[in-house]
Chain A
Amino acid sequence: MRLDADEREFMCSGHAACPGCGAVIALRIFTKAMGENTILVIPASCTGVIVGVYPQSVMRIPVVHAPMPAGASVASGLRAALDMRGDTDTTVVAWAGDGGTFDIGFQALSGAVERNEDFIYVCYDNEAYMNTGIQCSSSTPYGAWTTTTPGQDWKRLRKKNIVEALVAHRIPYVATANIAFPEDLVRKVKKAKSIKGSKFLHIFASCPPGWRIPSEISVKTARMAVQANIFPLYEVEDGVRYTINYKGKQRPVQDYFEVQGRFSHLTAEDFEQIQKMVEEDWELLQRKAGDQAADACIQSSSAKRAIKPNKVF
């Protein structure tokens, strides 16, 4: 595939990410889509370590390291400082992991987007605290092994739906993206960049050591999450207009779980239960996107003025 993105690299080789790191694939494609007038704010995370251990930096654009809970706050401050200097060309991006978004950074994020701060907040999601040794986060999915949910005590709680939490703030743009769909990712980044106010991108990024997968299937595994509707690709504008972006090849959830060591303890019954949970979520999303509602409208009365799908919710 050819990307509609900058030919230049904003990431240097020689970084310390593990082989096949999904976060780095996400960051590389993201920065190529953003271009050079970008400042990254990176709270404590894998990327924080990968991007710069003093005195080296991976990025060819400015990076400000932030404390783990403060990604959104630092980004807000930077935006204010740029505004004071009259710099409207530079985009501020907060780049945080799932720990720094779902858990530790959530308060700052909620506050900042409530103020509709003009930045792009990216959560690259590898579903646990990978940098510190694969501890469970509120993004860790149902069924997963981590070092804090070991053995038979695997996580029996659902993954927090961070996208819906952000949608509830009614910010201008919320979207999911996935490293296995770079064209979709680039389009969403460019769209986010063109919108004023708070934008939230939730990028699914595999972690070979944390997910217990061989590095070569890093992208393939991430793709399977979309194919199995575990991580649907969609975007929400102004908190109401839902658009589902991927309706291609489908797979059962089992395909996705079977390739990952972190799910190796799951049984056929577990898969069945997870499949049900995924289908429930998928149907809910489809209803929000108006797919079924729109169909129902057309069936019930073709004479009535069709209700716009986004008015249903």
Chain B
Amino acid sequence: MSVAMGQKPFVVITYETTESNKTGSWRFLKPRYQDKQSPCSAGCPAGEDIGMIEMLARQGLFNEAWEMILRENPLPGVCGRVCFHPCESVCNRKDFDSPIAVHTLERFLADTAAGKGLATTPQKLPKRNQRIAVIGAGPAGLSAAWFLSMLGYPCDIFEALPEAGGILRWGIPEYRLPLAVLQSEIARIRSQGVHILTKKAVSSESFHELRRSYSAVFLGCGHAHGAPLGIAGETPESVKDGLDFLRRARQGERPLCDGFSVVIGGGNTAVDVARTITMSGGNAAILYRRRREDMPAFGDEIAMALEEGVGLEELVAPSAIECHDGRLRLLLRKMKIKGRDKDGRGRIVFDGKKTVKKVVDHIFAATGATAAELWYSPPLAQRGVIGFSHCVLLLEEGGAPVIYGGDLTNEAKNVAQAIASGKQAAMVLDTYFERGIDEIKPRLEACVVGDGPALSMEAYLGGPRGLRSSHLVQYAEINTDYFQNETRVTQPRLAVEDRSRSVNEIELPITAETALRESGRCFNCGLCDECDNCYVFCPDAAVIRGQHMENRHINYDYCKGCGVCFTECPRHAVIMGEEGS
């Protein structure tokens, strides 16, 4: 057939698109965006939103990241330095290469904010009528006051010593936690409207007075009283309290460091005492009844102590002290490992009758501490006493409610637990005042991060964090094809020779570039970071989002439920569920 000039040949031409075919009807599994819980956040007693913090840090939004920490933790500069960072030991990245250096980044964000003189204005609820008295300006008291004031309650903190900070001010050496860092954190808490009254010791009488004049009292006096060794020959002269030694050093006294000192214990206090002595030119050794790997002190601190010349003797337990030519003779029994304890550490037993003798000049006990006064501790279970994961509430006739927190109510005695108890106490009191006693437990349960017991203040305040699923993301759920092996940041430190006779901080700051790289290693488990993989791979062009990645959603008219978005999401922020569920 010939075609005349100017006349189009006959061609079959389509004239409509396929958009009238609603292929969504094929679907039997439905993808959904769902943010979940990262194990680090659940592992953090303070419940910090770590996955989100690292996401912001990676984008260079350091201020926003810092503000995000403050929503859950008033002391990022402190925790970035002295927290035992349980977040890192549960980090999913440990199964890939090594965990994110969460504490290093936290410190970087806090230092950066402090360096810029940033002030923050956290969300603060309208002022309430109830005034709260807080006893003790340690980490627990400071946190309780911070969160209570966030919830609108005016707070007065009563502190016996001339400065606030508690163990942070008096029990941790300056080379680990510089005074300026602590002071800037406390200044921020003050600027929130919290009154800190120093040199105001509370006695058991004035405590009852406070219960009459305030609507509630938070008791966070800590365990500041060194526990004795309980061995023959022990006197206040022969055995000195490790915590007291650290306190004197922080007050500016020259540490006692002539001759040879031994420190008995395996926690951070023991290591701090021994390092302080060595750095001041003395000679010290740590004696521990278990092994190095069983020591509760931080591994890095122990390693640095040994580097600096501190001795360590494992599997020895003190049994008696005798005087010996003006010196002290310490009798030690040898221990050995036999089986395992409930906590997984080796169980120790006496190694027959083997003993060792050591002639020393000073003996320091750092084997734990107790409350200085009997009334500090919460009463035993009885009517009106309600126990929570981190604090204890006492309700009784004739006095305002008392809530106990910090070391007084936590098995593990550390800063993060203290912060957790302060936060929980604030939530407990707020719910008690607002909704009554029966509402406390259900309301706390709604704010649990992952499988708990960490609580989120953001969730409590009705923030978007509360909408996340409680599912804790596992390593197997991360699509590691999108991540490259990258070495964890090495903590920069002062050289050993530069550490002695100096109060300079030993751990050095990292650069912004390093912080960007380290936060970029984070999987951000369970959190959508708008990576756009779901959009890129969708075979049905059914992922819809704006040009600036806003309003991401799935067009269920066409989504066939293939699940490619679910598999290709690097962070497990998409789930597949049965249609209609």
Contact = CB atoms under 8 A, between A and B. Distances in A.
A31 B19 CA distance: 18
A14 B78 CA distance: 56
A148 to B, nearest CB: 27
B576 interface: yes
Interface stretch (A36-44, A139-147, A209-217): A209-217
Given A216-B567, A223-B481, A15 B18 contact: yes
A25 B537 contact: yes
A56 B13 CA distance: 9
B475 to A, nearest CB: 16
A14 B564 contact: no
Contacts of A12: 17-19, 541
B560 interface: yes
A257 B224 CA distance: 63
Given A13-B23, A19-B560, A220 B536 contact: no
Interface in B1-53: 12, 14-23, 26-27
Contacts of A179: 537
Contacts of B537: 25, 179, 182, 219
A86 interface: no
Given A2-B532, A7-B547, A14-B558, A218 B564 contact: yes
B542 interface: yes
A65 B166 CA distance: 80
B533 interface: yes
B17 A56 contact: yes
B539 A20 contact: yes
Contacts of B567: 216-217, 219-220
Nearest to B559: A13
B557 A13 contact: yes
Interface string A196-221: 00000000000010000011111110
Nearest to B561: A19
Interface residues of A, number: 41
Contacts of B564: 20, 25, 215-216, 218-219
B437 interface: no
Contacts of B566: 216
A156 B564 CA distance: 31
Interface string B52-96: 000000000000000000000000000000000000000000000
A1 B15 CA distance: 35
Nearest to B18: A14
Contacts of A28: 538-539, 541
Nearest to A50: B18
B240 to A, nearest CB: 57
Given A223-B481, A249-B481, A17 B539 contact: yes
Interface in A1-25: 1-3, 7, 9, 11-17, 19-22, 24-25
Nearest to A248: B484
A313 interface: no
B354 to A, nearest CB: 53
A57 interface: yes
Contacts, number: 113
A57 B536 contact: no
Contacts of B561: 19
Contact of B19 (A13, A52, A54): A13
Given A12-B18, A13-B23, A13-B542, A19 B532 contact: no
Contact of A214 (B19, B531, B563): B563
Interface string B547-574: 1000000010110111110111000000
A55 B14 contact: yes
Contacts of B538: 28
B445 interface: no
Contact of A182 (B536, B541, B560, B563): B536
Contacts of B560: 19-20
Contact of A19 (B20, B562, B568): B562
A216 B563 contact: yes
Interface in A141-168: none
A244 interface: no
30 contacts: A1-B531, A1-B536, A2-B532, A7-B547, A13-B19, A13-B541, A14-B17, A14-B18, A15-B23, A15-B540, A16-B18, A16-B21, A19-B561, A19-B562, A20-B564, A21-B562, A25-B537, A54-B14, A55-B15, A56-B16, A57-B14, A182-B537, A215-B563, A215-B564, A216-B563, A218-B562, A219-B537, A219-B564, A219-B568, A223-B481
Given A14-B20, A56-B17, A216-B564, 7 more contacts: A13-B555, A16-B21, A16-B23, A20-B560, A24-B540, A182-B537, A223-B481
Interface of B: 12, 14-23, 26-27, 479, 481, 484, 531-533, 536-542, 547, 555, 557-558, 560-564, 566-568, 576
